[in-house]
Amino acid sequence: MRDKVLKIDVQSEIGALNAVLLHTPGAEVENMTPKMAQRALYSDILNLSIAQKEYEQIEGVLSKVAAVYQVKDLLAKVLDNKEQRESLIGKICVTEQATDYFETLMEMNSQHLVKVLIEGLPAKIDTLTAFLKDEYYALYPLYNFYFTRDSSVTIGNNALICKMANKVRMRESLIMEAIYKGSGAFACDIINAHDFQPTNRDIFIEGGDVLIARNDILLIGNGLRSSAQGIDLLLMRLCKANPEGKFHVIVQQLPDSPESFIHLDMVFTLLDRDKCMVFEPLILGDNHYQTVHITIENGRVSKIKTVSSILSVLKRLGMDLEPVVCGGQIDEWDQEREQWHSGSNFFAFAPGKVLSYARNQATLREMNNHGFEIIPAWDIIQDKKSLDKYDKCCVTIQGSELPRGGGGARCMTMPLSRKQVEW
C-alpha cells in the first residue's frame, strides 16, 4: 500500500504495470455450500487454503513489478469516515433488502465491518418473515470478489463503476465506487453505470468484457454479462468525457453458452504489441457472432458497421496482431478444455510479459513456440530468476482451485496505472 494519492492512468492492456488492485480470497470463499454454488456463479466449491496459496503467487509476482493495493485495506479507510460509512451501508441495505440490519452494521468497528461486508452477515431468525424466507444470510458472502476485474473498469483517468449482470455481485460495485470516491488513495473521474436508470434490467456491463487495445481503441464483449444497452451507456459517458477527437470501439458478440464464455477476456487477451491470445473457433473461425466497428468522432458516433473479425479491423487501425491459439492448433478438444479453465485469460504486466495458469499445458507450449519463456511463479518470487532478463515470458501460477471460480489471471487483477506503450 502507498499513502500517496495515485492518479488512475490506464491507456492499454500491456503497458508496464505501475499499480494494481487485488483482493486475496478469504473466508467468503469457504462460506459456500454446493447448494449455493450456482447462485454464486461458480462451477464448483473451492478449498480456501489451496486457493490462497495459489493467489499468493499472483501477488508475489506482481509485487516485484508494481505497487499492490488490497481491497480490504482501502475499504477500511472508507468505513473510518462516518458519512462515507453511512452512505455505503445505506446503499447496500436498500439494494439487498436488509434495512433491518442498518444500525447493527453502523455500530461495528471498521475492521469487523470489512469482514462482514465481504464474508457475509448471518440472518437473525427472530421474526416469522425471516423464518419463512429460509435464508441463512442477510448479506451473502462476496464469493466472486477475488475477480477484481469485473466490478469496475479503469479507462484512461476514468473509473467505470459497473452495473453487474447478477444482483448477487452488485455489492462489489458499490464497494468499488466507495473506494474510488472515498478511500483517498486515488485521483480519477467516475463513470457510474448503476446509478443511471437503476431499475432498467437491460443495462449491465462488466469489466471482463472491456479491453483497452490502444488509447484510441476499446474492445468490448456483448453477451451474458454486458448488454448492448450497457455498452451504449458506456459509450455515451465516454463521448461526454471526451467531446473532441476520434476513437474506435470494436464490439464482439459472445455465445450464451458454455458458461466459460461469460466475458470477452475468456476468449481474447492482449500479450504484446504484436501478439494476442485467442480462442480460435470464436475469434478466427466462421460463426454467426457479429463483430461491430463503431467510430466515434467529436463526441458522437459517426459510423457503425459489421466487420469480419477483431483482428482484421485492428490491422486496418494499425495494430497487426499475430494470434496465439488457446489449446494449440492441433486438437480442438485441447482448445475447448483449456478455454474452459481460462486458457485464454492472460494478464500482461508489461509488453510481452504475462501471467497465466500452469495447468493449460497445450496453451503454454503454443506460447513457447511464439517465443515466450515459461517461468514458474515461485522462481520469480524466490529470486531464482529475474524478469528483467527476458524480452518475452509467461509466468505461470498453480491453478487447481482458483479456476473453479470461473476466471484467470486477468480476471483477478485490476490495473490502476500503467506506463505508456511505445507503439
3-state helix, strand, coil split of the chain in percent (to 5) is: 35, 25, 40
Q: What is the pLDDT of residue 343?
A: 95
The answer to whether 339 and 266 are in contact (CB under 8 A) is yes
Is the pLDDT higher at 39 or at 225? 225
Mean pLDDT, rounded, for 382-401: 96
Residues with Cβ < 8 Å from 172, sequence gap 6 or more? 142, 144, 145, 150, 151, 164
Residues with Cβ < 8 Å from 45, sequence gap 6 or more? 32, 33, 34, 37, 404
Residue 136 has pLDDT above 70, yes or no: yes
CA angle 242, 205, 397 (to 5 degrees): 105
- Count of CA atoms in the C-beta half-sphere (13 A) of 57: 22
Q: How many angstroms separate the CA atoms of 309 and 293, rounded?
A: 9
Residue 2 has pLDDT above 60, yes or no: no
Q: What is the pLDDT of residue 135?
A: 79
What rounded mean pLDDT belongs to the chain? 93
Residue 41 has pLDDT above 60, yes or no: no
Residue 3 has pLDDT above 70, yes or no: no
Among the listed ranges 19-23, 75-79, 333-337, which one has the minimum average pLDDT value? 333-337
Under CATH, which architecture does the 6-418 domain have?
A: 5-stranded Propeller (3.75)
- Count of CA atoms in the C-beta half-sphere (13 A) of 249: 25
Q: How confident is the model at residue 331 (pLDDT cuts 50, 70, 90)?
A: confident
Residue 42 has pLDDT above 80, yes or no: no
Q: Is the dihedral of CA 6, 204, 243, 315 positive or negative?
A: positive
Q: How confident is the model at residue 200 (pLDDT cuts 50, 70, 90)?
A: confident
What's the pLDDT tens digit per position in 224-268?
999 999 999 999 999 988 889 999 999 999 998 877 789 999 999
Active site residues: 411
Q: How many angstroms separate the CA atoms of 242 and 296, rounded?
A: 10
What 3-state class would DSSP assign to 116?
helix
What's the pLDDT tens digit per position in 347-361?
999 999 999 999 999
Domain spans in the chain, listed from the N-terminal domain onward: 6-418
Residue 37 has pLDDT above 90, yes or no: no
Residue of 31, 13, 410, 40 whose CA lies nearest to 259: 40
Q: What is the pLDDT of residue 412?
A: 97
Residue 1 has pLDDT above 60, yes or no: no
